[in-house]
């Protein structure tokens, strides 16, 4: 059976390698899409599902490691490098920058398959994490400017009274903002809101007594 909720991208300039890898993956029930160069990969429209990128280091247009750096900014699938003429500095750099593995040809099929599985598992987790964060960020965008001012004060542990004073508004008004924030952020409790704020990396302004002074 062909697993359909995940995919493997293969970027290699050698037609025979592409063919061989395609067959290997197919025999393991995995869907693969091949590209002959980095630019083809970049410009292609890729499905938005858990994936893995098998990347040859030596490509005609862009070096595999450079491609890795280029796509490092945005969201991209974990990379498994393969190479015919690898050197240690390259492998070190690749792994340091997050590559899942760095295999030298010839490699054992089992090693590649294992690396791909690890990569896809990793991508699944990363994507689910991203999705959750995305929801939170979207909710944060729904806040009004004032509410965005209230949030950090509240999660800093200030009393409503103190937070209101900081903003120069009445305590009642702050309570309303606070309540709206809780609702829009879908926080079940203050504790919840604090954890959400943590994930959104909202800075704490000036805790009632700075964050666990550790004294």
| 204 binding its own copies? (CB under 8 A) | yes
177 contacts 150 by C-beta, under 8 angstroms: yes
Which residue, 7, 35, 22, 24, is CA-closest to 120?
Answer: 7
| 17 binding its own copies? (CB under 8 A) | no
* Range in contact with its own copies (rule: CB under 8 A) among 40-48, 72-80, 131-139, 140-148: 131-139
Q: What are residue 52's DSSP bridge partners?
A: 8
Pair of tokens at residue 104:
């030298």
Query: Which residues in the chain belong to E strands, given as ranges?
Result: 3-11, 30-35, 51-56, 79-83, 101-104
| Binding to its own copies in span 50-89, by CB under 8 A | 86-88
| 155 binding its own copies? (CB under 8 A) | yes
51 contacts 8 by C-beta, under 8 angstroms: yes
Residue 139 Cβ vs its own copies, minimum distance, rounded to whole Å:
9
Pair of tokens at residue 19:
């063919």
Residue 76 Cβ vs its own copies, minimum distance, rounded to whole Å:
19
Residue 46 Cβ vs its own copies, minimum distance, rounded to whole Å:
25
Q: What are residue 35's DSSP bridge partners?
A: 11
Residue 3 Cβ vs its own copies, minimum distance, rounded to whole Å:
26
Which residues are near DNA by CB under 7 A? Answer: 144-147, 159-161, 167-173, 175-179, 190
């Amino acid at each position: 059976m062909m697993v359909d909720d995940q995919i493997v991208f293969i970027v290699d300039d050698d037609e025979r390698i592409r063919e061989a890898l395609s067959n290997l993956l197919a025999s393991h029930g995995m869907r693969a899409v091949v590209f002959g160069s980095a630019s083809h990969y970049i410009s292609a429209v890729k499905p938005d599902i858990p994936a893995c990128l098998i990347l040859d280091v030596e490509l005609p247009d862009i070096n595999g490691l450079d491609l890795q750096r280029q796509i490092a900014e945005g969201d991209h699938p974990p990379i498994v490098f393969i190479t015919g003429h690898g050197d240690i500095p390259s492998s070190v750099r690749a792994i340091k920058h997050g590559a899942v593995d760095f295999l030298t040809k010839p490699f054992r099929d089992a090693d590649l398959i294992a690396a791909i599985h690890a990569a896809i598992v990793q991508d699944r987790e990363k994507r689910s994490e991203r999705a959750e964060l995305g929801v939170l960020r979207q909710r944060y965008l729904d806040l009004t400017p004032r509410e965005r001012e209230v949030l950090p004060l509240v999660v800093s542990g200030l009393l409503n009274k103190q937070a209101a004073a900081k903003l120069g508004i009445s305590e009642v008004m702050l309570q309303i903002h606070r309540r709206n924030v809780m609702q829009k952020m879908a926080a079940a409790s203050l504790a919840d809101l604090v954890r959400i704020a943590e994930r959104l990396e909202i800075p704490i302004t000036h805790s009632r007594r700075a964050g666990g002074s550790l004294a």
